[in-house]
């Protein structure tokens, strides 16, 4: 007999982990893969940005998931289709026209994943009762975030391992930055020593240990050195010339945004000092790399460099991908490292260069991903329950197109649709702006109103303390709502997502130098956001209850994305006009429009509570 219920721990973690992986593959992993395969930044940015479209417009076909088949069927079938898309990418990577072909399969992956999201979110509401939905809302978010971390971390590490396992031995560039090191910048000497004369082929690095001074240099000096390194690598064939070097202006920037920005700056008396060639920036060091032996005539050996460990306040700014051939193997290619301009302490970093079969490495990685989704599909084939309510909502004999538009329109015919849309668009209007400007605020120098942290410090604050606090807040929000109900915690969560923005007002005005104070402020804000966001998720579940809950939840997520996109689009523009202090005060004021719709929300007191 088919089980109508099953322990949610057997399928919720795996279902939402499977939901997150394709998204991070399309948004992050594909970008890194194309970069490793030598695609230009212009093409990467243009074509991978379009992959986000299926998630934006998924509400348009969400009624189809309600009208045809069950949510269970859609989940299992879409996971197989996602696996097919991943497998297609793996098989296309070695082809001559790999870029175009892989994009086709990534589009298949993106549409399949967006459809899978619709079905999975709908099934979550069908397979659990109200109390379980409330209890597990933090758990599902946590495993979705684990998928994000897996994609941005473990998958890249896996591909890097395969890159290292093939080709020439990897190289390491050890960099040290210290205040006592001279800030004089010189080209490294390339010696024809005994190791270069040996019969083995490998990449030699000069010098073995790179030293960077923390004493800053004029920006004009950096520009001259960077131009020299770039022109040398292009002239010798180590780097291909970019086909798109022009920054073309648009009608919008010429006639709307730029004039309006200038007008507001003038009226608000906001003065911005022009960037001078004499303004100071972080010091740099030049590193040379060359082959020890001539490769075969038509064989190209590509060296891919990336940060491996240490303090990422030392960055690689030129020489990320260098191509060696029989024509340039005996000449040095130049790499440029730069220390963060705010770095004042001694620190080290290690950069790793691999020259394996990049196409093969990424093919293997995507084949493993494809196999993973085949396993997911079979696992969920047996582990997903068979809820009695998981049935098609289409009536026999009725027109599919008519049912489609009826389902879609039923969401907007609700009496409280104005309150619903207002809540979905305004609940995170302050957070949407803060998220965009938080990292630039941390990185900007103190004279510009920022905190002057190094890149490594910001990575630690958000990547460690921030993500732990965010996850803890999300889990606690779900547990709390399951204990006393969604309505009881609604106002607490509204205040939790808005009032802690005061931490950034304090940081902007006090500009503390104590790292622990900064970390504590960020952790408080992130924890509160995780707790407060629970109300948003539960309200979307609540308003989606009914005959077409899957389609309605998908429409709600569309408004959720719009509510983050629109405020975020102008946040940087506004911050540049009014500065960080007034910007974070503005973020606090955005609490007012966020709170107004909450007064009109009607939620059943028992929603989320366990029913006997």
Residue 159 lies in a domain: yes
Domain that residue 40 falls in: 1-166+357-402
**What's the mean pLDDT in 401-430?**
84
Query: Which pLDDT score, from 0 to 100, does residue 399 have?
Result: 61
Last residue of a domain, one of 355, 372, 389: 355
**Using CA atoms, how far apart are residues 506 and 510, in angstroms rounded to an integer?**
6
Among 292-301, 452-461, 557-566, where is mean pLDDT lowest? 452-461
For the residues 514-523, what does the mean pLDDT come to?
Answer: 90
Does residue 83 have a pLDDT over 70? Answer: yes
As a whole number of angstroms, the distance between CA 184 and CA 242 comes to 31
- Note the residue count of the chain: 612
- Does any domain span residue 408? no
> 147 and 9 in one domain?
yes
Same domain? 157 vs 195: no
525 found inside a domain? yes
182 in a domain, yes or no? yes
Domain end residue (candidates: 355, 372, 390): 355
What's the CATH code of the domain at 452? Answer: 1.20.1250.20
Work out the pLDDT band at 36, boundaries 50, 70, 90: confident
Are 216 and 119 part of one and the same domain? Answer: no
- Choice among 19-23, 121-125, 245-249, 369-373 with the minimum mean pLDDT: 245-249
Query: What average pLDDT does this structure show over 339-343?
Result: 86
Q: What is the pLDDT of residues 275-286, one digit of tens each?
A: 555 678 889 999
Quick one: 454 and 523 in the same domain? yes
Q: For residue 395, name the pLDDT band (cuts at 50, 70, 90).
A: low
Predicted pLDDT of residue 610: 63
Residue in 51, 48, 113, 56 with CA at minimum distance from that of residue 566: 56
Residue-level pLDDT at 293: 84
Strand, coil or helix: what is 284? strand
Q: Which of 355, 372, 388 is the last residue of a domain?
A: 355
pLDDT confidence bin for 436, thresholds 50/70/90: confident
* Shared domain check, 294 and 238: yes
More confidently predicted of 149 and 479: 479
User: Is 407 within the bounds of a domain?
Assistant: no
Name the burial class of residue 477, with classes exposed (0-12), middle (13-18) and buried (19+) by CB atoms within 10 angstroms of its CB: buried
What pLDDT score does 474 carry? 85
Give the pLDDT of residue 397: 47
User: 125 and 105: one domain?
Assistant: yes
> What's the rounded mean pLDDT across residues 579-608?
88
Q: In whole angstroms, what is the distance from residue 189 CA to residue 392 CA?
A: 72
| Radius of gyration over every alpha carbon of the chain, rounded to an integer in angstroms | 27
Give the model's pLDDT for residue 248: 47
Query: What percent of the chain is modeled with pLDDT above 90?
Result: 24
Confidence of residue 88 (pLDDT cuts 50, 70, 90): very high
Lowest mean pLDDT among 99-113, 134-148, 330-344: 134-148
The structure's pTM equals: 0.67
CA distance 484 to 496: 17
Cα–Cα distance between 438 and 453 in angstroms, integer? 12
Average pLDDT of span 127-156: 80
The answer on pLDDT for 246 being more than 50 is no
Q: Are residues 278 and 343 in the same domain?
A: yes
Question: Residue 241 pLDDT more than 70?
Answer: no
Whether residues 22 and 109 share a domain: the answer is yes
Q: How confident is the model at residue 184 (pLDDT cuts 50, 70, 90)?
A: confident
CB atoms within 10 A of CB 219: 17
Do 389 and 270 sit in the same domain of this protein? no
Give residue-wise pLDDT tens across range 322-337. Answer: 888 888 888 899 999 9
Please check whether residues 527 and 579 belong to one and the same domain: yes
Res 199 pLDDT > 80: no
Q: Please answer whether residues 171 and 289 qualify as being in contact, where contact means their C-beta atoms are separated by less than 8 angstroms.
A: yes
Query: Are both 456 and 599 inside the same structural domain?
Result: yes
Residue 265 has pLDDT above 70, yes or no: no
Name the percent of the chain lying above pLDDT 70. Answer: 87
Provide the pLDDT for residue 174.
Answer: 92
Cis peptide bond prior to 207, omega within 30° of 0: yes
**For residue 245, what pLDDT is reported?**
37
Query: What does each C-alpha distance from 306 to 35, 157, 170, 314, 560 come to in angstroms?
Result: 11, 12, 11, 12, 35
Domains in the chain, number: 3
Residue 85's pLDDT band, with cuts at 50, 70 and 90, is very high
């Amino acid at each position: 007999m088919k089980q109508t219920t099953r322990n949610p721990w057997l399928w919720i973690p795996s279902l939402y982990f499977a939901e997150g992986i394709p998204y991070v593959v399309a948004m992050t992993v594909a970008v890194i893969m194309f970069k490793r395969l030598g695609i230009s930044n212009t093409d990467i940015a243009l074509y991978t940005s379009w992959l986000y479209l299926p998630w934006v417009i998924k509400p348009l076909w969400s009624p189809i998931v309600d009208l045809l088949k069950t949510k269970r069927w859609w989940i299992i079938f879409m996971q197989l289709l996602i696996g097919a898309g991943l497998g297609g990418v793996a098989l296309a990577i070695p082809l001559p026209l790999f870029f175009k072909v892989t994009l086709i399969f990534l589009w298949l992956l993106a549409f399949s994943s967006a459809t899978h999201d619709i079905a999975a979110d709908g099934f979550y509401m069908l397979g659990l009762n109200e109390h379980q939905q409330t209890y597990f809302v933090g758990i599902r978010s946590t495993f979705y975030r684990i998928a994000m971390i897996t994609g941005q971390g473990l998958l890249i590490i896996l591909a890097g391992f395969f890159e290292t396992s093939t080709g020439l031995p990897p190289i390491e560039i050890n960099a040290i930055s210290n205040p006592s090191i001279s800030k004089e910048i010189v080209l490294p000497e390339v010696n024809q020593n005994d190791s270069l004369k040996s019969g083995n082929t490998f990449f030699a690095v000069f010098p073995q240990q790179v030293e960077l001074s923390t004493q800053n240099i004029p920006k004009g000096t950096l520009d001259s050195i960077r131009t020299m390194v770039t022109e040398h690598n292009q002239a010798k064939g180590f780097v291909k010339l970019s086909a798109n070097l022009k920054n073309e202006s648009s009608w919008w920037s010429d006639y709307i945004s730029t004039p309006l920005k200038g007008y507001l700056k003038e009226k608000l008396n906001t003065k911005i000092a022009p960037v001078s060639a004499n303004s100071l920036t972080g010091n740099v060091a030049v590193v040379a790399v060359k082959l020890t032996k001539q490769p075969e005539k038509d064989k190209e050996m590509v060296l891919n460099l990336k940060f491996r460990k240490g303090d990422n306040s030392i960055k690689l700014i030129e020489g990320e991908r260098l191509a060696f051939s029989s024509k340039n193997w005996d000449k040095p290619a130049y790499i440029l490292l730069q220390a963060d301009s705010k770095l004042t302490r001694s620190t080290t970093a290690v950069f790793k260069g691999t020259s394996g079969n990049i196409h093969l490495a990424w093919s293997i990685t995507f084949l493993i991903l494809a196999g993973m989704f085949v396993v997911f599909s079979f696992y969920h084939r047996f582990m997903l329950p068979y809820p009695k309510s998981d049935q098609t909502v289409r009536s026999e004999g009725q027109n599919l197109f008519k049912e489609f538009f009826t389902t879609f329109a039923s969401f907007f015919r609700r009496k409280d649709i104005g309150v619903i849309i207002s809540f979905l668009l305004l609940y995170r209007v302050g957070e949407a702006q803060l998220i965009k400007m938080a990292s630039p605020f941390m990185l900007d120098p103190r004279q510009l109103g920022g905190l002057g942290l190094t890149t490594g410090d910001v990575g630690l604050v958000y990547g460690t303390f921030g993500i732990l606090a965010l996850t803890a807040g999300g889990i606690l929000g779900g547990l709390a709502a399951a204990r006393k109900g969604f309505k009881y915690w609604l106002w607490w969560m509204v205040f939790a997502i808005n009032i802690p923005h005061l931490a950034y007002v304090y940081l902007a005005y006090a500009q503390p130098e104590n790292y622990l104070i900064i970390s504590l402020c960020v952790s408080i804000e992130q924890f509160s956001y995780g707790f407060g966001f629970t109300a948003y998720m539960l309200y979307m579940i609540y308003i989606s209850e009914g005959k077409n809950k899957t389609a309605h939840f998908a429409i709600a997520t569309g408004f959720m994305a719009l509510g983050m996109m629109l405020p975020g689009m102008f946040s940087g523009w506004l911050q540049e006009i009014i500065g960080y202090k007034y910007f974070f005060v503005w973020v606090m004021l955005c609490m007012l429009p966020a709170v107004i719709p909450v007064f009109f929300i009607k939620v059943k007191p028992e929603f989320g509570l366990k029913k006997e």
